[in-house]
Chains A and B, each alone.
Chain A
Amino acid sequence: MSSMYCNCKPEAPRSQLKAWAKVDELARANSLWVTAYGTGCGAIELRPLHTSRFDMERFGIAMRPTPRQADVLIVSGYLSVKTLKRVIRVYEQMQDPKYIVALGSCTINGGMYYDSYNTLNVLDRYLPVDVYIMGCMPRPEAIIDGFGLLMEKIKAGRADGWEHYRENLEWYRDNQKKVIPKWDLPDYNW
């Protein structure tokens, strides 16, 4: 199994010319590829979004079948402890740079499942969220608005959750291991 992934600590990317970084950011912001993965109830609202009614491809947002090709992970609602483990795995397999968009009050503060024995309260403690979209659940218009925000953040060079994650990996790992009693993931899994 271990031949299938790299199990060494993630490194910082090579430094880049400022001007070139700007071009990169512009290109990234206009072609956001999303991992086709849904958790919680929020995934229901993604269907109208990526089909003809709201058609997110006109903004350059497309679904990808594998995390290896994607830049954006949408956490579309409550995360149970069991799902968190899979989401971490998916997130870490995505190539840098990568962004997380979190939908719904469940990811912000537990929402209506705040007292559940099985769902997380605050997603930010386990994965770096770039954009939160509030609502229970957010309408497709709200999600488009959120993606607009993400694009602005990327263009301004402020969508750096993935760098923050890499730099503070220990802190995130501690939090993750605290809630996942059966931790059987490799320590680095990129």
Chain B
Amino acid sequence: MMDSQRLLEQVESTATVLQVIRRSDGYLHVSIGSQDLLSCLIRARTETGFLVLQLISVVDRIEDGKFQLTYILENPDDSSILILSALFPREGCTVPTLSEIWPAAETFERELHEMYGIDFPGNDRQDEEFILEGWKDKPPMRRDFDTLEYSIRMFGERWPRNHHDPRQFIGERVGEWETPMSGEEGS
């Protein structure tokens, strides 16, 4: 298993490492500058043996006006994990596609395009529908998308609800139930 120090040195040789988020043997999670992301990923695959792209995920950091993209790579020979995170500006977010390098990335990117509106130029299938059918609104996973407002506008107000204090509500009804306990109490 590759120790994390060597892995870190290798990442540092291609990218500006902004922060080491977590490290242990065979596991390294770093955040790097977004401009180095593509070269760093290619290098990890071609030179360090991280052949498997497990996941691309996004966190919407709306307070900073950024999307944080996280790429999880695995080396199948020794099962070590390399996780690279990078921040991209939120408005008009454009991220280089990986579909040439990992065909599986095409599907991940399609999902992120639909759910967050991130543009991956070069990914031919990103405009195809992934989960939603005929979605016309803002991408629903962006945090500035108001799901409650959408739900009311689209599906109508829900029916009014009655609230019961459980103690009182159950207390009222408990007399209607015959339980073994009530018999014992009477005797």
Min distance, Cβ B68 to any Cβ of chain A, angstroms: 22
* B134: interface (CB < 8 Å): yes
| Interface contact B158-A117, CB-CB below 8 Å | no
* A121: interface (CB < 8 Å): yes
Q: Which residues of A contact B1 (CB under 8 A)?
A: none
CB-CB under 8 A for A179 and B159, given A115-B147, A116-B147: no
The tally of CB-CB contacts under 8 A between chains A and B is: 52
Residue of A nearest to B159 (CB): A109
Selected contact of B161 from candidates A82, A85, A109, A182, CB within 8 Å: A109
Q: Which residues of A contact B140 (CB under 8 A)?
A: 117-118
* B102: interface (CB < 8 Å): no
| Interface contact B155-A122, CB-CB below 8 Å | yes
| Interface contact A182-B147, CB-CB below 8 Å | no
Q: Which residues of A contact B151 (CB under 8 A)?
A: 110, 114-117, 121
Convert A170-190 into 0s and 1s, putting 1 for each residue whose CB lies closer than 8 angstroms to a CB of B: 000000001111100000000
CB-CB under 8 A for A121 and B156, given A82-B133, A181-B134, A181-B136: yes
Convert B146-161 into 0s and 1s, putting 1 for each residue whose CB lies closer than 8 angstroms to a CB of A: 0110110011111101
Convert B104-148 into 0s and 1s, putting 1 for each residue whose CB lies closer than 8 angstroms to a CB of A: 000000000000000000000000000111111100100001011
**A interface size (C-beta, 8 A):** 21
B residues contacting A by CB (< 8 A) are: 131-137, 140, 145, 147-148, 150-151, 154-159, 161
26 A-B pairs with C-beta separation under 8 A: A81-B133, A82-B132, A85-B133, A109-B161, A110-B151, A110-B155, A114-B158, A115-B147, A115-B151, A116-B147, A117-B140, A117-B145, A117-B154, A119-B155, A120-B155, A121-B156, A121-B157, A121-B158, A122-B155, A122-B156, A122-B159, A179-B154, A180-B133, A180-B134, A181-B134, A181-B136
Beyond A110-B151, A116-B147, A117-B154, 10 additional contacts (C-beta under 8 Å) are A115-B148, A117-B150, A118-B132, A118-B140, A121-B151, A121-B158, A122-B156, A122-B158, A179-B155, A180-B133
A residues contacting B by CB (< 8 A) are: 81-82, 85, 108-110, 114-122, 125, 178-182
